[in-house]
Amino acid sequence: MKKVLKPQPMLFPMPAVLVGTYCDDGNPDAMTAAWAAACCHKPFCLGVAIRQNRLTYANLKAKGAFTINVPSTSQAEAVDYLGIVSGRDRPDKIAVAGMEVDKGEVVDAPIISSCPVNVECELIGELEIGSHTWFVGEVKHIRADEELVEHDGTLNISDLDPLVYATSVAQYWSLGKPVGKAFNMGKKIG
Ligand SMILES: Cc1cc2nc3c(=O)[nH]c(=O)nc-3n(C[C@H](O)[C@H](O)[C@H](O)COP(=O)(O)O)c2cc1C
pLDDT grade, residue 140 (50/70/90)?
Answer: very high
Half-sphere exposure of 10 (CA within 13 A, CB side): 7
Ligand 1 atom at minimum distance from 132 CA: 11
Which residue's alpha carbon is at the smallest distance from atom 10 of ligand 1?
Answer: 50
What contacts 85, CB < 8 A, 6 or more positions away?
93, 96
CB 75, CB 163: distance < 8 Å: yes
Counting atoms of ligand 1 from 1, which one is nearest the CA of 54? 25
* Residue type for position 47: G
Contact between 88 and 172 (Cβ < 8 Å): no
Pick from 31, 25, 24: which is nearest to 68 by CA? 31
CB of 174 closer than 8 Å to CB of 163: yes
pLDDT at residue 190 greater than cutoff 90: no
Backbone angles phi, psi at 147, to 5 degrees: -70, -10
Decide: helix, strand or coil at residue 156: coil
Contact predicate 172/162, CB 8 Å: no
Write out pLDDT tens, residues 82-133. Answer: 999 999 999 999 999 999 999 999 999 999 999 999 999 999 999 999 999 9
3-class secondary-structure state, position 118: strand
Question: Rounded CA gap, 38 and 61, in Å?
Answer: 20
Measured from the CB, is residue 70 less than 6 Å from ligand 1?
no
**Considering Cα of 166, then 71, then 63, then 24, what sign does the dihedral take?**
positive
Ligand 1 geometric centre to CA of 151 (Å): 35
CA–centroid distance, 173 to ligand 1, in Å, is: 17
% residues pLDDT > 90 (the chain): 99
Give the Cα separation of 65 and 103 in Å (integer). Answer: 12
